[in-house]
Amino acid sequence: MILLLLLSAVQCHANAADLLGEGLWARASPPGAPNGVAYGRLTNAGPEALEIVGLASLAARTVQIHETFLQDDMMRMRRIDPVTLQPGESVTLQPGGKHFMLIGISQPLRGGEEVLVDVSMASSEVVTLTIPVLPPGETGPEFDQ
């Protein structure tokens, strides 16, 4: 009986492995650019809500999820924190909308390379996303909202 209770308690917690990254890509950055940007879709494929509470990468001083919006005829960005995905829910990161902002990149992002981004969950679990950097002028897939 105790084993059954322990197993059911484990099943109630969200699993970071349930976070799926799809169509991930980063823009190549010009030399001297202080920041980089990456896109794709994140989906919660699990039965419990996932709360993203932190992002990190060796490629940048800070990684955040930002949203681009129009205010007073000017495009602006704001940080979205935390990001909660309900079971089956996705968040689309694409140009002109939500995106990974890699702040203070350690070197230019070059086409053909990859950026690793660690996604920390409220459950203390971490999943690492591998994001390919596309050559200048290329873009990744577009997703329906």
Residue 142 lies in a domain: no
Confirm whether 8 is domain-assigned.
Answer: no
Q: How far apart are CA 112 and CA 50, in angstroms?
A: 31
> In the chain, how many domains are there?
1
Q: What is the CATH number of the domain that holds 87?
A: 2.60.40.1890
* Domain assignment present for 70: yes
- Is 123 in a helix, a strand, or coil? coil
Q: What is the pLDDT of residues 29-80, one digit of tens each?
A: 998 999 999 999 999 999 999 999 999 999 999 999 999 888 898 988 899 9
* Per-residue pLDDT tens over the stretch 133-144: 999 988 888 776
Rounded to two decimals, the pTM is: 0.84
Domain-located, residue 5 = no
Which residue segment(s) compose the domain that 35 sits in? 20-134
CA distance linking residue 101 with residue 55, whole number of Å? 10
Residue 108 has pLDDT above 80, yes or no: yes
